[in-house]
Amino acid sequence: MNKLQGRPFRGLFLVVLFVASVLPQVGGQMRRRHRSTHTPALVTSAAQHPKFHLDCTLPALTTEALAIDKVCANRGSSPAGSDSAKQNLIKNRFCLPDAPTTPVDIDFNILDQLQKAARDKGIPFGRKPVPGDPTKTMEDLPPDRSVVVDLITDTHGEHFGEGMLVRLEGFVFKAQHSNTFVFSGKGESVNCKAKTLKRNDIHIALSRTKAGAMDTSEASECETVTAEISPHHRSAIYNRFDSNPKDFLNGKKQKAGQDKLKGQPLPLKGARVRLTGQLFFDASHSAPCRNGQGAPPRLSIWEVHPVFAIEVFETTQSKFIPFEDWAQLHGN
């Protein structure tokens, strides 16, 4: 895989560099391996410290503590030290090991190869019977996440595994806030079982081609791969990366206890995008699709999660531009 040519993310990354220069005790996005135990500069006392600890600046998100940051810790609602808590800590990791500044381009084949390697090495994922009660199941997660850190090597000698800063290009098959009240979702432990949109991940399914993205069949969805935008420190504009009309008010009034988005969805279905974030093994999911069926349908349970930055190809300019700029051009 070829690396990017050191080209920083437009605009937003310049802001990050500036913030990093004036807040030296806070690492840049990319101050990997939480070597520092300093309290972030944006926090002035223990009483003000949000339960979600952010010890680095972010490339395209916000340093402001949001509602979920004040009530949901990095490990979510899982018991401390549990395999679920270990996975949640990785899901919520914005500061990657070794502080990479240049993402590695990956494609669908890499995610497929990672899936096969995890299976061949017997790395646990999905669910297993509860000891003593085979009628019930529980998550079967890796107790040691190091087994997925350096999993495969490509023909160019590039190593791939969890914790890498990567960039993936594809076409939006669908994007929606997951595990919410809209679909009677039960919430996820990583987000403390919250059911509102602003306190849940945005699930993005990507297709290899525009034609595949426009085909709504399960067989076509089985060929998609996944990226997710965390609700923690999520800029308001990123909530608009949602193609599901049911997540929007569409002119209706907001009901009590709900937080549907104003307006209507942006024209994201079939849009060509580039997503940058952490390469992550989501072991909570069962095996990917077989014979055109899966639950949920997908090519691989390896994801880009959390997403740090989004670019959309703007046809009128013949280039990728930041999502926030694209949304201004196509907003309603």
If DSSP codes are grouped into helix, strand and coil, which group holds residue 175? strand
For every one of its 332 residues, what pLDDT tens digit does the chain have, with 9 covering 90 and above? 444 444 444 444 333 333 333 333 333 343 333 333 333 333 333 344 458 988 777 666 788 889 999 999 999 999 999 999 999 999 999 989 988 889 999 999 999 999 999 999 999 998 888 888 988 988 899 999 999 999 999 989 999 999 999 999 999 999 999 999 998 878 899 999 999 999 999 999 999 999 999 999 989 999 999 999 999 999 999 999 999 999 999 999 999 999 999 999 999 999 999 999 999 999 998 888 888 777 789 999 999 999 999 999 999 999 999 999 999 999 86
Strand pairing category for 104-106 and 165-177: parallel
Structure tokens at 285: 């999911």
The rounded Cα 239 to chain-centroid distance in angstroms is 13
**pLDDT value, residue 24:** 36
Could you tell me the CA-to-CA distances from 140 to 23, 79, 122, 179, 277 in Å, in that order?
40, 15, 12, 20, 25
**pLDDT value, residue 80:** 93
Structure tokens at 149: 């850190």
Nearest to 167 by CA among 237, 232, 255, 103: 103
- What angle is formed at CA 154 by the lines to CA 152 and CA 158, rounded to 5 degrees? 85
Q: Which residues contact 213 (CB under 8 A, 6 or more apart)?
A: 170, 171, 172, 173, 206, 207, 269, 270
List, in sequence order, the alpha helices (H) in the chain: 12-22, 83-91, 108-120, 210-214, 218-221, 323-330
Structure tokens at 146: 């190091």
- Residue 58 is classified by DSSP as -
Structure tokens at 165: 């800063």
Q: Where are the beta strands (DSSP E) in the chain?
A: 104-106, 127-130, 133-139, 152-153, 159-160, 165-177, 202-207, 225-229, 272-281, 302-314, 319-322
Q: Which residues contact 177 (CB under 8 A, 6 or more apart)?
A: 197, 200, 201, 202, 203, 239, 242, 244, 247
Strand pairing category for 302-314 and 165-177: unpaired
